[in-house]
Structure 1
Amino acid sequence: MELPVYIKIHNQIRKDIEAGKWAVGDRIPSERELALDFGVSRMTLRQAIQTLVDEGILERRIGAGTYVANKKVQEKMSGVTSFTDLMLNQGKKPSTKTISYHVADPSLSEIEKLKLPDDAQILRMERIRYADDVPICFEVATIPYSLVKGFSKAEITHSFCHTLETKGHYELGGAQQNVSAMVASEKIAEYLKIKKGDAILRLRQISFLKSKEPFEYVRTQYVGERFEFYLER
């Protein structure tokens, strides 16, 4: 299966950064320039850039362009957080709208985060998560396909963690989580019913089984005024 063009561009820009073509804090060329360099439409180029922004590799600065991101101070949180459980515990009704759902070849970042062999495939899905019908977050989840090929789409999109535990009989372990602040893009603002440029919280999480095997890599954007993280020391 051939990689989508935007993933190929994502991989090349990431390789260029790792090779030192652009250092931390450097402004990368404009979308117009990069689109010409790669011979693609600006829409395709923008999708690649947005993926790198969601991963924390690049950052957008309003009115100034796109830059190689600085490493953020990290706050350690414990455990695998199920959105469904979180909402139910707060007396709210959780629901999900699936935007996309497909099996694909992984990007370099997905291979790295999930420790995948080179010939592995992944399930990548985009979802809007709601509490009492109010949009709380937009997430992009990547899962090793070998782990879920026996599950139905409904079982995975409704509550993936519950499916792993009850049908897959897996024991869930901990997670690595990184939280940072950013502003909503036009697409995310539309999904979450907020204004472009509104504050959002970005969570990047790698979740592990008890066996220490990573089973999910998620990039989630939460509406800043509708969600907060609670850290217990």
Structure 2
Amino acid sequence: MSAYGDQRSEPLIERNHPDPLYVQLRNLLKAKIDQREWATNEKLPSERELVTQYGVSRITVRQALKELEHLGYLQSRPGKGIYVSEPKPSYELEIVRSFTQTAIENRLRPGMRLLTGEVIKAGEEIARSLSLPVGSEVVYLERLRLLNDLPVVVQRDWFSAAMTPGILKLDWTAENRSLYSEFEQTYGVFPARGQSTVSARLATDTEAALLQMEIPAAVLTLDQVAYDATNRTVNISAAAYHPLRYPLTLTQMNQRR
């Protein structure tokens, strides 16, 4: 019997294995969650118990638990311990569907904090993207979007002020106010198609703080341009997503019949 296993037929942690000890432990604990040996919201054994059970150091245990927490499998509850996280919903990537609509369809409560709302003069890049003359008045909205009170995305939008007169007079502190709903219901502007670019990068200090992430942290980025049925540019947006709280998914269909 390896010194790194216990006497209860637990899988062994092998010192001579090519994977580091914490990776082996992480994979063993993850398997327990995947196989539902530990149920959602079940409390894990203490660090001391895991040290004894698997014959590894406390540092190894902490590193394995931290990685599983970052991957979204575990949730630390201050003063209570570490628990198995609830399965995260996935969010289909669709340009003309609002954040609010997606949240409601996933049975989640949308929320919002307005960070910036102002009319600016379009520089060359923004003007070109919106198909407007340089110097045109453009509305800039920066919002922190929330699901069940957890911050999930920092979203920035630019669109023509002439197309949406008075839009900044609306109450942008309302939890479920949707930009696309306002486009459609208030201004008769209907986003019909668009283009998306998905990437990843390190979060800025501000983004990390807003999304409750420890630096260095990576965010998913989604840059989009939406057009109406006449190919007029409706808006451009740039969003930074918390990769665990709001994982983006893309469904592709085989067009051949």
Q: Check conservation: 1:129, 1:135, Cα contact below 8 A.
A: yes
TM (norm. structure 2) is: 0.58
Aligned alpha-carbon RMSD (Å): 1.7
> Alpha-carbon deviation of 1:115?
0.7
> Could you tell me how far apart the structure 1 residues matched to 2:250 and 2:242 are?
18
Partner of 2:202: 183
% identical equivalent positions:
21
Indicate the SS of the match to 2:167: coil
Indicate the SS of the match to 1:172: coil
Indicate the SS of the match to 2:187: coil
Paired residues, what number? 157
Q: Does 1:163 align with 2:182?
A: yes
Aligned amino acid, residue 130 of structure 1: L
Partner of 1:117: 133
> Could you tell me how far apart the structure 1 residues matched to 2:148 and 2:94 are?
26
> Could you tell me how far apart the structure 2 residues matched to 1:136 and 1:232 are?
21
Aligned amino acid, residue 167 of structure 1: T
Deviations 1:154-188 (A, max 9, x none): 36672110011112222221111100011112111
Shift in alpha-carbon separation, 1:162–1:155, aligned structure 2, 3 A? farther
Unmatched runs of 5 consecutive residues or more in structure 2: 1-92, 253-257
Partner of 2:216: 197
> Could you tell me how far apart the structure 1 residues matched to 2:203 and 2:156 are?
15
Indicate the SS of the match to 2:237: strand
Structure with the higher helix share, 1 or 2: 1
1:174 aligned to 182, 193, 197, which one? 193
Partner of 1:228: 247
Partner of 2:122: 106
Q: Check conservation: 2:124, 2:134, Cα contact below 8 A.
A: no
Which of structures 1 and 2 has the bigger CA Rg?
Answer: 2
> Could you tell me how far apart the structure 1 residues matched to 2:193 and 2:172 are?
19
Shift in alpha-carbon separation, 1:155–1:175, aligned structure 2, 3 A? farther
> Alpha-carbon deviation of 1:119?
4.2
